[in-house]
Homo-oligomer: A and B are copies of this chain.
Amino acid sequence: MEKNKKTQLEDIAAALGLSKSTVSRAISGKGRISTDTRERVLQCIKEMNYRPNMIAKSLSENKTYNIGTVIPMDSAETEAPFFQTCLMGISKECAVRDHDAVIIGTEKNDLSQLKRVVDNRKVDGIIITRPVADGGMEKMLRENGMPFVVIGQSVDKDVVTVDSDHTAGCRELTSYLLMSNPPESIGLILGSMEHTVNKSRLSGFEAAFAEAGSKPSVQLVYTDVESELQFSKAMTALMKQQPACIICGDDMLCMRLLAELSNLGLSVPDDIKVASFYDSVFLDSYLPPITSLIYNATELGATAVSQLMDMLEGEEVEKQKLMHFEMLVRRSTM
A10 to nearest B CB, angstroms?
15
- The interface stretch among A31-39, A58-66, A148-156, A209-217 is A58-66
Q: Which residue of B lies closest to A100 (CB)?
A: B102
B120 touches A105 (CB 8 A): no
B81 touches A80 (CB 8 A): yes
Tell me the bound Cα distance from A185 to B75 in angstroms: 38
A87 touches B105 (CB 8 A): yes
Indicate which residue in B75, B88, B262, B280 contacts A105 across the interface (CB closer than 8 Å).
B88
- By a CB distance below 8 angstroms, the chain B residues around A64 are 55
User: Contacts A100-B122, A259-B286, A259-B287 known; A84 to B91 CB distance under 8 Å?
Assistant: no
The answer to whether the Cβ of A77 comes within 8 Å of any Cβ in the partner chain is yes
The answer to whether the Cβ of A51 comes within 8 Å of any Cβ in the partner chain is yes
A102 touches B105 (CB 8 A): no
The answer to whether the Cβ of A101 comes within 8 Å of any Cβ in the partner chain is yes
Residues of chain A at the chain B interface (Cβ within 8 Å): 6, 51-56, 58-59, 64-66, 69, 71, 73, 75-78, 80-81, 83-85, 87-88, 91-92, 95, 98, 100-105, 113, 116-117, 119-122, 252, 255-256, 259, 262, 280-282, 285-287
